[in-house]
Structure 1
């Protein structure tokens, strides 16, 4: 069994269930578990002992979209792609992701997947939950190959919606749920537990407006049967809320509550939820996956503090936008303080918990999200010696308010060092980047892509 020792000038652990920072400690890893945290230099096969590192539990990003984000990158800022102020979900992301999955070869799809995983790892994430079209199953291959701990969440739909030229959404009439379940089950049979249990699945009906009640009930029952996480998009736009009100006479949260699937649900975004919706979600134990930056670019404030203040367990994910968890928690802090008119909300410790132990608890993984003996050895190390981080009184505040993904130094997953000095040993990052970008550019060249981006 290999023994790896990492020195941390600061080590984030917990004491009596409370976040706690230790100074000048060694974290000893034996195999794929944390064996000890101690002040003295332990005997080990490999030592990482550069001073100035802040050792954190491996960062967890439970809502990300590698492929659709790549398709939209640098096109949809400044309002592009929004027809009549419609969300880009149905004008750009969903139709072009589907078209891209059909257009690209398996090798090209793998190139896009590798580019996404590369960015996630360089952003410090050790665990990622990724909803994506079943046609992009190469995400599993890339995560396995590159060492990421990965919860793949292939979408299932009742209908495959897209925007009409006037910006309204065409939900169609075709019921695709039977084939979607068949694809999901096949992927579960192939991938669940692969890579020494690094690769798992989650159940991900796409959204309340694209999934009917029968599909949602069946998906929830299947998730409970297999004991996999259950996630969906909830109230991510005013048009979704209006659609559910017209169909069912209630809000999206009330719709899911009638179906009995709010408890423990990982609800992405929830930005268009009312205060009464949030009270209901808090009562039911729903988890909100807050992704503030992707909404901020459209002028919408997705306040972490609003959800947390309502008593909801609130996590932070990237939604694929930049795939930078440090940048995302910084945005969560700023947006929360501005929207709530308070400097004391969305504190640094809260936000770090939102991408470590609270995220682990949300998916029932007490072996993740913590630097404690016995936990799995998923570790993110940040180099805090840079001039923009010095002098430093509190490493947690410095991490949230001053650090960025360029400061990510080491990433360990399952006891294996995946990232060293900010780079992936054994991979030609420049070649991966070129291949992924070239594949996406083939989608950009399509006439329908040009029309979608034009807004």
Structure 2
């Protein structure tokens, strides 16, 4: 075990325990040993083995991404940027996303590309919502990231035969079996020798899970003391389906079943009972989320591509809803996602004061940590895990530097991220991923995407060629 000191950093985004908030600390020292932060303050004079000069460096807590799909989303780059089903309220979930799934040989490259992008943008903890796949745990451990695995399970699959009606094929026994396998995998993750893996229960979507599967998974998650996440209120189609089945909105239906509390996470949570696209006869949803302590995992990019937006991040926060942030789609760039959180909230509210960078950065750190039941990540404080990001504060994109976090989020982005540490181990150095071959994985994924493009017409209900489904920007000569 060695003691490492980052001495007199230009700026430390330190945790103010008295005020329970992040604070700017110029000239701060950060000391870590055996994966744990031992000191955050000024004038450290204790033992030290390695000294890193903090001159020109901004040290901030690693970000906590609570919603991501690394096994599939990198494959969609260039294919799903501009398409949504006009007959399904512009969602791409039901008609297009299922036909662009890569083959099994592409999964590991997908994951390596996504995790590389996440590390380079300052994410140190990730919730990976994926279907279980061979070698999953060892692959995540290879990245050096802290990962909450969330093996998805469900009672039905959705499909469309015409582009305007969503149908469901049910197999409740298969869903129950998949749930059992998911909890077994979570237990294996918690026992993994890396010590960086833990788990979360994840019934995939509210409309593809039988009520019994939802109740049973929630009860099992509670008995294990782990979080529980579900995609809900993510599309107009789903909203109408749940109100048709149960007479309640998706949020109200989950509440009626007693599934919402401080360890519950709603993936997306956009279409509440007062959203302009889903006006309902009640106005209860946002208060239910706040009163139960439920977290909303906000992922604006994937919806913005379809012209869809939450109404709005600032309103949720003012109502008392705990917010976290995720990267539901490519690129897996957390800093880009935070920028869009701000801009969409303000345009949807027609008010630049609806939210602040403080609230947004909190969502990406302590808000996400709370959702995962972790008090030892998302902040730089003694006793927390040594998960942090070192930013080049002298980078031209960081100048002028009146407010460093605003400069990072709204201007410099991942270009200024220099080093990233997880458990005190450097996983990004001088802007390069040290644990995985990002370039090789990206090249392999490009070849895999060609196979996916070739096979897509066979998966499409109308058997359209890919260039008809997703026309290129310009005609190929």
The answer to whether TM tops 0.5 is: yes
Q: TM-score, normalised by structure 1?
A: 0.93
**Higher alpha-carbon deviation: 176-185 or 241-250:** 176-185
The residue that corresponds to 2:28 in the other structure is: 25
Deviation track 1:312-365 (CA, whole Å, cap 9, x = no partner) reads: 111111113311111111111111111112222221111111111221122221
Corresponding residue of 2:290? 282
**How far did 1:82 drift?**
5.8
2:317 — aligned with what?
308
Contact 1:126 1:148 in 2 (8 A): yes
Give deviations 1:186-210, integer Å, cap 9, x for gaps. 3123222424431111110011111
Structure 1 equivalent of residue 114 of structure 2: 116
Distance 1:404 1:294 in 2: 19
* Corresponding residue of 1:273: 272
Partner in structure 2 of residue 151 of structure 1 = 148
Is it true that 1:198 corresponds to 2:202 in the alignment?
no
In structure 1, how many angstroms separate the alpha carbons of the residues matched to 2:416 and 2:161? 43
Give 1:293 deviation, angstroms: 1.5
Tell me if the contact between 2:74 and 2:113 (Cα under 8 Å) persists in the aligned partners. no
Q: Give the 5 Å matches for 1:218-257.
A: 218-257=216-255
Contiguous gaps of at least 5 residues in structure 2: 275-283, 470-477
CA-CA distance at 1:449 after TM superposition? 5.4
Runs of 4+ with >6 A deviation: none
Hey, what's the Cα distance between the residues in 2 that align with 1:138 and 1:234? 29
Say whether residues 1:388 and 2:397 are aligned partners. Answer: yes
RMSD (Å) for aligned C-alpha atoms? 2.0
In structure 1, the residue matched to 2:303 is 295
Q: Which runs of 5+ in 1 are unaligned?
A: none
Tell whether the 8 Å contact from 2:397 to 2:416 is kept in structure 1 after alignment: no
Match of 1:355 among 340, 345, 364: 364
Cα shift at 1:415:
1.2
Partner secondary structure for residue 113 of structure 1? helix
Change beyond 3 A, Cα 1:403–1:327: same
Higher helix share: 1
- Aligned equivalents of 2:396, 2:267: Cα separation in 1: 36
Deviation at 1:122, TM superposition (A): 1.3
2:14 matched residue in structure 1: 13
* Rounded Cα–Cα distance in structure 1 between residues aligned with 2:331 and 2:287: 31
TM-score, with length taken from structure 2: 0.89
> Could you tell me whether the CA contact under 8 Å between 1:82 and 1:91 is conserved in 2?
no
Work out the CA distance in 2 between the residues paired with 1:84 and 1:344. Answer: 33
Q: Among 260, 267, 291, which residue is 1:262 paired with?
A: 260
Please state if 1:448 is matched with 2:454. Answer: no
1:114 offset after TM fit, Å? 1.6
Determine helix, strand or coil for the equivalent of 1:44: coil
Asked if structure 1 preserves the Cα contact closer than 8 Å seen for 2:143 and 2:435, the reply is no
- Who is 2:331 aligned against? 322
Deviation at 1:80, TM superposition (A): 5.3
Within the alignment, does 1:71 sit opposite 2:75 as a pair? yes
The alignment status of 1:140 with 2:151, answered yes or no, reads no
1:179 is matched with which residue: 177, 180, 188? 177
